[in-house]
Structure 1
Amino acid sequence: MMWQTLLAAIQSSFLDSLATPLQILALGCAVLGVGLQVGGSLVRTMLPLRWLTVASSLALMVYGALSPSMSTLAASLLLLPINVFRAVEVTRLTHAVKGAAAAADHVGHWLKPHMKVRKLKAGQVLFRKGDRAEHLYLLVQGEMRLADIGQQLPLGRIFGEIALFAPDHRRTHTVQALSACTVLQIHESTVRQLYYQHPAFGFHLIDLLAEGLAHDVARAEAAAQATPSQGGAIPEA
C-alpha cells in the first residue's frame, strides 16, 4: 500500500511537471544539466571537463529559473562564473602549451643572447667523459664529434643537456673538435631559469633528452646484437 501511494505521488508530480511548455522546458534542462555533469565526470582530460561543467551550470540555472527552484538557481549562479573562469584558464593553458611545442624548433634563435662565445682549435677537446657538467652548448660553426663513439654533431644543435639533468652531473661522452669550431655556451643556472620561464625551451630540452636516450638504447641494442653469445658453446679441445 505504501509503495503504491509513493508511486502515485511520483507519477502525479511528473505529470504536473509536464503541464505547460515552460515546465517541460524546465524538466528538459534539468535532465540535460544532470547528464552533462555525469558526462564531465566520465571524461579523462581537464578541458572538456571544464566546459561540460559550464554547460551543466547553464542548464541547471535555466531549470532553477523556470521550475522555479531558488536553491538550484542560486547554486548555479554561484558556480557558473567559477566554472567559466576555470574553463577559460585551462583553454589558455592548452593553447600556450601547443604554441610552446610549435616554437620549440626555433628555440636556438632567442637562446643565443643568453650564451657566450667559445672557440676551439682542430683536435681540441671541449669536455671529456666523466667531467662535471656546468654548461649547455650550441654548435654554430665547424665540425665536432662524440669522440668515444665516433658520432658527428649536427650544426646548430644544442648538446650537453643530458649531464645537466643527470643525478651525478657527469658527462656521458667526450666531445672533440674536428676543425676550428665556434660554440655558444650557457651556464647551468641560466639553463634552469630559462627552463622554468620559457615553455618552448622546456619542450626543446625534453625532445633532446628523449632523442639522446633513444640513440643510446639503439646503440646498446646494436652492440648486443653484434656481440657473439658466450653461453651454451663448448670450446674445442
Structure 2
Amino acid sequence: MTWVEAIGWLAAGLAIAGSAMKTIIPLRCIGIVTNLVSLVYAYNMGLFPSMAVNMILLPLNGVRTWQMLRLIRTVRVASKSDLSMEWLKPFMARQSVEAGEVLFSKGDAANCMFYTLSGRYRLRELGIDLPQGKVVGEMGFLSPDNKRSQTLECIASGDVLTITYDEVRQLYFQNPEFGFYFLRLTSERLFENVGRLEAEIARLRNLTAQPGTVERAVST
C-alpha cells in the first residue's frame, strides 16, 4: 500500500468517525480534518471534483465551528451578566417590516421569535412600545399550547431578525449553556409580567379604596 492509498483510507475512516459523532462541535472538527486529508488524497490522485468539494467544505466547517465556539463562550459570559441576544444574530434571518404590519396576533400558533433591529413595534393588548434590540415572541416557545398571548404590530417601518423555535431547539441540544441562558431570558420576562400585574392590582385597589373613584374611572 502506498502512502497515497493510506491517506485515502484515513480520509474514509475520518468520514465514518464524523458520522458517528453525537454533538456538533466534535463533528465539525472531524469534518475539518477529513477535508484536509481528503484534499491531499484528491490532489495526488488528480480527483478534481473531490478537491473542489473539500475546498468548499473546509472553510464552511471552519466558520461554523468558530461560530459555535464563540456562541458557547459568549453565552457563558452572558449567563453571568446582563441579558442580551446580540450573540444570536448570526443564527437569525433578517426581515423588513412595514408600518401597520402585524407580525403575529393573539391566539396565533407560535413558531418563531423576533429581535428588533430598527423601527417601532407595539404589543397591542398591553400598549407597550418595544425599543430596538429587544427580543419578543419567546414566550410562545414555553406556552403549553404554543399560542401567542399578545399581538405585535409595527408602528414605524424597520427590520427584525427572526429565528424559528426548531432552530432554537437545535441550539439548545448542541449547547446546553444556551438552554440556561434562554431560561434566564424567559424568567426575566415572566417576572416583568408579574410585576406589571401586581402594579395594576395595586392601582385598582387604590381606586376601590376611594368612594366614587371607580365610577368616575369607568365613566371616563
Q: TM-score normalised to the size of structure 1?
A: 0.51
Deviation by residue 1:9-36 (Cα, 9 ceiling, x = unmatched)? xxxxxxxxxxxxxxxxxxxxxxxxxxxx
> Does residue 145 of structure 2 align to residue 145 of structure 1?
no
Unaligned runs of 5+ in 1: 1-95
1:218 is matched with which residue? Answer: 195
Which of 1 and 2 has greater Rg? 1
SS of structure 2 residue aligned to 1:172: coil
Work out whether residues 118 and 160 of structure 2, in 8 Å CA contact, stay in contact via their aligned partners in 1: yes
- How far, CA to CA, are the matches of 1:126 and 1:233 in structure 2? 41
RMSD: 3.2
Using the TM superposition, give the Cα deviation of residue 189 of structure 1 relative to its aligned residue in structure 2, in angstroms. Answer: 0.7
Work out whether residues 107 and 201 of structure 1, in 8 Å CA contact, stay in contact via their aligned partners in 2: no
The counterpart of 1:197, out of the listed 155, 174, 190, is 174
Work out whether residues 107 and 204 of structure 1, in 8 Å CA contact, stay in contact via their aligned partners in 2: no
Using the TM superposition, give the Cα deviation of residue 164 of structure 1 relative to its aligned residue in structure 2, in angstroms. Answer: 0.9
Using the TM superposition, give the Cα deviation of residue 177 of structure 1 relative to its aligned residue in structure 2, in angstroms. Answer: 1.0
SS of structure 2 residue aligned to 1:178: strand
- How far, CA to CA, are the matches of 1:161 and 1:98 in structure 2? 17
Moved over 6 A (4+): 229-235
SS of structure 1 residue aligned to 2:94: strand
Aligned letter for 1:114? F
Unaligned runs of 5+ in 2: 1-72, 213-220
* Percent identity of paired positions between Structure 1 and Structure 2: 35
Aligned letter for 2:151? T
Deviation by residue 1:149-182 (Cα, 9 ceiling, x = unmatched)? 1112231122211111110101111111120021
> Does residue 159 of structure 2 align to residue 159 of structure 1?
no
Q: Taking structure 1 as reference, are residues 232 and 116 closer, same or farther at Cα in structure 2, changes over 3 Å only?
A: closer
1:132 is matched with which residue? Answer: 109
2:28 is matched with which residue? Answer: none
Aligned residues: 140
Using the TM superposition, give the Cα deviation of residue 226 of structure 1 relative to its aligned residue in structure 2, in angstroms. Answer: 1.9
